[in-house]
């Protein structure tokens, strides 16, 4: 692909479930390799790429809270899952010959670098793919909100929300065959209609930061690069 990116700096939000591939849980190495190859392809176009990764393939704090765990304790366990995923992504990107740096909002300096905005921005400016773990570093916030926060504070031009479907629909297309896909939708409409692609806090934060969001399917190889060059298929969320 020789097209130039229309966004200089992008944040890609990946769910932990995206790393499972066909497995019921955990990390499916061929899937991780494909996703990392897509990230490297996008970075080789000249875009600066940050990634926020979830941990739902390992542990979902929101679902486990109340089952003998407080919500803060469960969310802390979920944050550890995101760090495990970030290490897997960092290692695979490096194995593909591109520099990467995993950073965590939860300090564990013997494992990954502790996140600071200034250091993450410096890594991006040097062409490294920066993989951000630990969400916001606080309980009660999803990694979607963490993604919107990091995209805003790192001055990203766009947030790319990788999902299991090719955009935002009026209803779940897997359950409702009559569901219609939006080409473009406003932040306020997404919030008002409770279109559950991301949580309300994430959309509100993106709206306040005037951060466009593109929702697309991660399953097709090369999808990230195509979205960055304007050739991708997805839904744009904006004003």
For residue 88, what is the domain's CATH number? 3.40.1160.10
Establish if 1 belongs to a structural domain: no
Three-class secondary structure of residue 232 per DSSP: coil
Residue 2 lies in a domain: no
What is the structure's pLDDT at 206? 96
Whether the Cβ atoms of residue 149 and residue 79 lie closer than 8 Å to each other:
no
Does 182 reside within a domain?
A: yes
Number of domains the chain is built from: 1
Quick: pLDDT tens for 130-164.
999 999 999 999 999 999 999 999 999 999 999 98
pTM: 0.93
Q: Domain limits at 75?
A: 9-238
**What is the DSSP secondary-structure string of 133-163?**
ESTTSSTT--HHHHHHHHHHHTT-SEEEEEE
User: Does residue 3 sit within a domain?
Assistant: no
Cα dihedral 82, 87, 91, 94 in deg (nearest 10): 80
In a domain, 30, yes or no: yes
**Residues 63-117: pLDDT tens digits?**
666 677 888 999 999 999 999 999 999 999 999 999 999 999 999 999 999 999 9
Q: What whole-number distance in Å separates Cα of residue 33 and Cα of residue 93?
A: 8
């Amino acid at each position: 692909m020789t097209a130039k990116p229309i966004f200089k700096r992008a944040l890609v939000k990946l769910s932990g479930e995206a790393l499972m591939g066909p497995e019921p849980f955990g990390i499916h190495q061929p899937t991780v390799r494909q996703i990392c190859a897509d990230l490297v392809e996008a970075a080789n176009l000249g875009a600066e790429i940050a990634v926020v990764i979830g941990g739902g393939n390992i542990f979902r704090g929101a679902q486990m809270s109340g089952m003998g765990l407080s919500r803060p304790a469960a969310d802390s366990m979920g944050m550890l899952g995101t760090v495990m995923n970030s290490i897997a992504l960092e290692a695979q990107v490096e194995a593909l010959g591109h520099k990467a740096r995993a950073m965590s909002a939860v300090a564990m300096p013997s494992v990954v670098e502790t996140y600071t905005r200034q250091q993450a921005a410096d890594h991006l400016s040097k062409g490294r793919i920066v993989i951000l773990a630990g969400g916001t570093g606080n309980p009660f916030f999803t990694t979607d909100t963490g993604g919107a926060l990091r995209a805003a504070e790192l001055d990203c031009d766009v947030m790319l929300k990788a999902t299991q479907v090719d955009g935002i629909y009026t209803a779940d297309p897997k359950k409702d065959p009559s569901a219609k896909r939006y080409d473009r939708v406003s932040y306020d409409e997404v919030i008002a209609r409770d279109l559950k692609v991301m949580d309300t806090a994430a959309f509100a934060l993106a709206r306040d930061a005037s951060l466009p969001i593109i929702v697309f399917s991660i399953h097709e190889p090369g999808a990230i690069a195509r979205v960055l060059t304007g050739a991708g298929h997805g839904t744009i969320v904006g004003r």
